[in-house]
Structure formats: C-alpha cells, structure tokens
Amino acid sequence: MALKSTIFKVTLSVADVGRGYYRDHDLTIARHPSETDERMMVRVLAFALHADDTLAFGRGLSTDDEPDLVRRDLTGTIERWIDVGLPDERDIRKACGRARDVDVVAYGGRAVELWWQDAMPRLERQPGLAVTEVPGDASRALAQMVRRFMRLQVTIQDDHVLVADDSTSVTVELRMRKVRTA
C-alpha cells in the first residue's frame, strides 16, 4: 500500500513592502511522504516571496515536469514557474521555454554552491530566470516551525525576510544568485 500525503493547513499573512502586497492566504499543503519539513517550509517561503491571488501549489514531487508553484493566466498559459531545491539545469531550461518567468528558490547549504557552479554557465543565458538562495541555517530553522496547523506572518523587505509564528521568528537573508534580465 502506498503512503499518502500529509495535509497541512497554513494561514499565511504576507507583508511585502517592496511590492506593496499585503494579504492573507489560507493554504492547504499536501506533503508527499518523501518530502522533508525543510523542503515544505521552503515551498511556503517561495509562496510568500511570490504571493499572488492566482499562485498555486503544483502537483508535487510525484509528478515530473511540473513546478512546485505555478501562476497561470486566464487561458491556462503558465506565467510564472517556481521550483524549490536544486533542480536539474535541463529541466530549468525547459521551464524557461514554457513560462515567461521562472524562479528557482535554492536551499541545501554547501550543496547550493556546488549546484550553482555546475549549472551557472548554461543558466546565465536564460533572461527570464531568477535564482534565489535560502541559507541552510534559515531553511533548517523554518523546518523547526512545522505544525499541522500553522499561522505564519511573513514580512519581506528587499532581500530580508522575517517569518514568525506565535512563539518563534526566523530571519532569512536571501542571496540572489541570478537576477531576471527580461
């Protein structure tokens, strides 16, 4: 018998000062059995960083060729493709052909540096791509905040992010590895 996804409920309050975006989102997140708390919380962080009324979680780890988060226009065309982790550079290039904007929110400590050094020569030429790194200590601290029902407040100003719940706060200093040029 296959293991089932675990369902998490998140009330997410986003205050993105730079974009002038202030909204609450009620999210239902299905965590695949092979997904870690750290990865799930980086997905929630990625949602907050790109929050929009039409942004939605993708089908998850079990579905190849699908983003972790996606924003589509009214015709179903992908406007924004967001992947979390250290995706294969070929998959990123394919995503750049399918979506106007592609974002990678990378995490994993030292592994990010190794991944980026390998992928950078081929990804630098993708004008619609942005790559942001979440430091390892921050992603591990976010994983400690996981509960089945969460109320999170996320404040974003420039590359500084504060994620807080009722008892804990985590500061995330994002590192831009590649800025979108298109």
In the DSSP assignment, the letter for residue 6 is: E
In the DSSP assignment, the letter for residue 4 is: P
Q: Give one DSSP letter per residue of 19-49, joined into a string.
A: TTEEEEEEEEEEE-TT--HHHHHHHHHHHHH
The tens-digit pLDDT sequence of the chain (182 residues) is 567 889 999 999 999 999 999 999 999 999 988 899 999 999 999 999 999 999 999 876 555 678 999 999 999 899 999 999 999 999 999 999 999 999 999 999 999 999 999 999 999 999 999 999 999 999 999 999 999 999 999 999 998 999 999 999 999 999 999 999 96
pLDDT value, residue 8 = 96
- CA 178 to CA 161: how far, in whole Å? 18
pLDDT value, residue 97 = 94
pLDDT value, residue 182 = 66
Domain ranges of the chain: 6-178
pLDDT value, residue 136 = 96
pLDDT value, residue 139 = 97
Judge: domain 6-178, CATH 3.30.1540.10: no
Q: What is the enclosing helix (H) or strand (E) of 140? A: helix 136-143
Q: Do 107 and 97 touch, CB atoms closer than 8 A? A: no
Output b/e per residue, 65-96; b: 16+ Cβ within 10 A.
Answer: eebbbbbeeeeeebebbbbbbbbebeebbebb
Q: What is the pTM of this model?
A: 0.95
| DSSP three-state, residue 114 | helix
pLDDT value, residue 5 = 86
